[in-house]
Structure 1
Amino acid sequence: MPVINSIAAFADDMTQWRRYLHQHPELGQQCHDTAAYVVERLREFGVDEIHEGVAISGVVAIINGQGDGPTIGLRADMDALPIEETTGAAWASLNPGKMHACGHDGHTTMLLGAARYLAQTRNFKGRIALIFQPAEETGGGAELMVQEGMLDTFDIREVYALHNMPDVPVGQFYTTPGPIMAAVDTFHVDIKGEGGHGAYPQDTRDPIPAALSIGQAMGTIVSRNHRALDDLVVSVTMIHAGTADNIIPESAYLGGTVRTFDKKVQAMVKARMAQIVDGQAAAFNVEATLRYEEGFPATINTPEPTAFAAQVAREVAAEGMVTDDATREMGAEDFAYFLEKRPGSYLFVGNGDTAGLHQPNYDFDDAAAPYGASFFARLAERALPLEDA
């Protein structure tokens, strides 16, 4: 079996931890009960230091190896999503309107499994910093950790993270050097006209045609304003207006998301959106305001650590189950804030034939946990080898 034997031996324990976490999801920065459960397990394992309340409800734990050396950071996210679960599993969420629909319960479990193994064996020198992060989904917990100086406080030299991926076989890993996840921005357009009776549109300044025209014009940013080889997504995902079929409303709203890898492309999108909103507002005789919010930056893997991480993955995966030049994803990840400050790498591990991420019938495949735990554990041993190893 490619996973570490001693980790495989406590796979049932990891399943128990994961299903408990799945039943008790928490959102954003408010992962206090999740953190308490993590701390309870870490104390059982005998880690050397536990630091609570990092980025409000995050946890950083330290495991000392045999002898002096640098500190390697291993990160797992803990937060859930505001989704009503439909899996019907015996371990389904007990918190209405909240569920682990992205597998962060599994990520936390994988890091806990590595912590248990590393605290027992300590077959490395230096230190391992176990980073249990809140608010990946909605609050930028990684950014807050960076702002609080966590990387400097614990003198972390490199950082690594895993994310599960449905429709990829369990035990398969993939990554790529350079950009692997996109930057994510949000745009909002508030349109104000003059409402009135639907039978007398000549007496109004209708915001709905303006909203529709702005939305259509946004699509031309991708098709006509950027080079086809540069990855770019502009999606209008919301249009809100009106209350009745015979009333022309006074206002309308549309919003959506932008995904980019290149800051020049991002700047072009912002400029074109402003031009489109201003121009269409004038054309339809309404007032329109663009609010453009920059979110997570692109997640950019450092080449050498990524090659190293892929080699480690090959030690715990079956033959041919590691790809180190994968196509980059248009999703976003706040691990980007760590990679802006430190070398490191972000990888995906297969979750098998399950529902997609962020879907109400998604569930983490517990068979994937020993692979992730083994990857983290072996990475620690290979990054910080003992002198006689």
Structure 2
Amino acid sequence: MIDSELVDRMVTWRRALHAHPETAFEEISTARMVASVLRDYGFEVTEGVGKTGVVGTLTRGSGPSLGLRADMDALPMIECNEFAHRSQHRGKMHACGHDGHTAMLLGAAASLSRDTGWHGTLHVIFQPAEEVAGGGRVMVEDGLFERFPCDAVFGLHNWPGLPLGHFVINSGPMMASFDTFEILVDGKGSHAAMPEEGIDALVCASHVVIALQTIVSRRIPPKEACVVSVTQIHGGEAWNVLPDRALIRGTVRCFSADVQARIRALLEEIGTLTARAHGAEAALTYHYGYPATINAQAEAAIAVDAARATVGIEAVALDCKPSMASEDFAFLAQVRPGAYVWMGVDGPEPGAPLHNSHYDFNDDALATGATYWVNVVKAFGAARS
């Protein structure tokens, strides 16, 4: 199915991508390479979907239509590796394995192009800007599923900490939502030696930050997984001046729209009332980011069948603790039923974690990932026949 020659090609593709990373909506060379490979294997190719996305389509007789999605973008960070295929673009790095994701889906596309054991229409979706800019949302808004109808869509992410040859799949929540917030505290500036003449925005902001810690611990039911993290406080420029304003920034992650709405209301309530208790005012700005990634039951079952066909029953874990990290595959899974899985990549010696300057995708996982994709296509066809 995935022969040694194709594995060698995937390694070549993957390392070329790693050496030439491109960040959100700048994946020009990456998209060009993806499109060229797909055309070589007989796919009808559409470029520029969602700005820099690529969709390859292959139809084999009548049957269901499905989408397989891989993300292509790199992170804006400096790589600290020294191997030959390290990043040649300073300040950009494939530190999340999207180079591997792209190579695995290309390998699966190559394999399926010469495999007569499936029927239907396959759309291989190469998505830009997963890391910071919501490229999944942009592709959907650009008519992804109207232009390329899919009965279902599937996604995959490599997972350091999970052994090579293992998969994790949940029916239901897989990855948390990701929202950001700002609370602007308005006080009254004064000389630092005469604080009684002002309203100290920094002291007020500090109390707001402490009060926000009660949202998860005291205001949300313990059974609901969620995280509220304050990540920035900005205010003041001089040593001897109490500033007029302080800005608090942070993130919210959860799995439920009801919890999401409750947290937003509490951010506003706690910020406003705590500020007033100090004689100040506060205003909340809330930004909805990535929704939670929720696997549909039927598609999760197909993913389980495909993973078991790839690595065996014992190497597929079900109903595991979802991650509080986020993934914009969620935008696709909101529109079409879908399933998203984690694939182990750790060898005998565990590699660096995701988003680490020493990370490198494990090439030994390429054949496993490509085989999984091929098995998804066949398991989906069997389930729909």
Give the alignment's TM-score, normalised by structure 2.
0.95
Distance 2:236 2:88 in 1: 36
Structure 2 match to 1:219: 213
Checking the alignment, whether the CA contact within 8 Å between 1:68 and 1:125 is kept in structure 2 is yes
Q: Please list, as runs of the form range in 1=range in 2, the aligned pairs for 1:229-378 lying within 5 A after superposition.
A: 229-318=223-312, 320-352=314-346, 353-378=350-375
CA distance in 1, matches of 2:194, 2:91: 43
Secondary structure, in 3 states, of the residue corresponding to 1:351? strand
Q: Give the length in aligned residue pairs.
A: 382
> Which of 13, 17, 29 is matched with 1:33 structurally?
29
For 2:130, give the aligned amino acid.
E
Corresponding residue SS for 1:359: coil
Which AA in structure 1 matches 2:12?
A: Q
Q: Aligned partners of 1:50 and 1:276: how far apart in 2?
A: 51
How far, CA to CA, are the matches of 1:9 and 1:325 in structure 2?
A: 36
Q: CA deviation at 1:5?
A: 4.3
1:17 aligned partner: 13
Post-superposition shift, 1:113?
0.6
**Cα distance in 2 between the residues matched to 1:116 and 1:125:** 16
Cα shift at 1:323 = 1.0
> Which residue, 134, 144, 162 being the options, matches 1:150?
144
Report the RMSD for the aligned CA atoms in angstroms. 1.8
Partner Cα separation in structure 2 for residue 43 and residue 386 of structure 1:
29
- Structure 2 segments unaligned to the other structure (5+ residues): none
| 1:187 aligned partner | 181
What's the counterpart of residue 75 of structure 2? 81
Q: Which runs of 5+ in 1 are unaligned?
A: none
- Distance in structure 2 (CA, Å) of the matches to 1:88 and 1:284: 53
Residue 87 (structure 1) shift: 2.1
CA shift, 1:327, in A, is 1.6
The equivalent residue for 1:54 is 49
Instruction: Name which of 105, 109, 134 aligns with 2:103.
Output: 109
Matching residue of 2:131: 137
- The separation in 1 between residues aligned to 2:107 and 2:75, in whole angstroms, is 23
Question: Which residue among 363, 380, 384 is the counterpart of 2:381?
Answer: 384
Conserved 8 A contact 2:2-2:370:
no
Distance 1:386 1:325, change over 3 A: closer
**How far is the alpha carbon of 1:111 from its aligned partner?**
0.3
1:177 is displaced (CA, Å) by 0.2
CA distance in 1, matches of 2:144, 2:123: 10
> Residues of 2 paired with 1:302 and 1:294: CA distance?
22
Q: Deviations over 1:12-51 (max 9, x none)?
A: 221111111111112222211110111121122222x100
Deviation at 1:73, TM superposition (A): 0.4
CA distance in 1, matches of 2:6, 2:144: 31
CA distance in 2, matches of 1:370, 1:247: 61
Rounded to whole Å, the distance in 1 between the matches of 2:380 and 2:261 is: 38
Identity fraction in percent: 42
SS in 1 for 2:151: strand
Alpha carbons 1:175, 1:323 under 8 Å: kept: yes
Q: Give, in angstroms, the shift of residue 285 of structure 1.
A: 2.2
- Equivalent runs, 1:56-71 vs 2, <5 Å: 56-65=51-60, 67-71=61-65
